[in-house]
Amino acid sequence: MIIQVLHCPYCQGTDIVKNGKTRQGKQRFMCREELCQGRTFLLNYAYAGQSRQVKQQIVDMALNGSGIRDTARVLHVSTNTVLKELKKKPLTSSK
């Protein structure tokens, strides 16, 4: 029997529970740490543009001077995904 310890991609917490399935049949997980307040995530996204790693690569490539179409072509995502990620405002804490 193999036990896999899951970590939340947002807060790196380990208090993770299963939280249903998506329409495509992929397992959804929910973080029960106080920092996340019940955020859900998937381990394997159907579309690569939704993963945190690709989103970070989009921002990194933009900071290094890559164009929108070039970034989309290299990462195999649509130009709309690149634009949407670049237009996001940084999160501010409301404390």
32-89 pLDDT tens trace? 988 888 899 888 877 778 888 899 999 999 999 999 999 999 999 999 999 999 998 6
Contact 59, 53 (CB under 8 A): no
pLDDT of residue 72: 94
User: Are 2 and 41 part of one and the same domain?
Assistant: yes
Residues near 82 by Cβ (< 8 Å), separated by ≥ 6?
58, 68, 71, 72, 75
Element (H, E) at 28: strand 27-31
Question: Does some domain include residue 94?
Answer: no
User: Are 70 and 80 part of one and the same domain?
Assistant: yes
Q: What is the pTM of this model?
A: 0.62
Question: Does some domain include residue 56?
Answer: yes
For residues 47 and 26, the model is more confident at: 26
Mean pLDDT of 2-22: 87
pLDDT of residue 21: 93
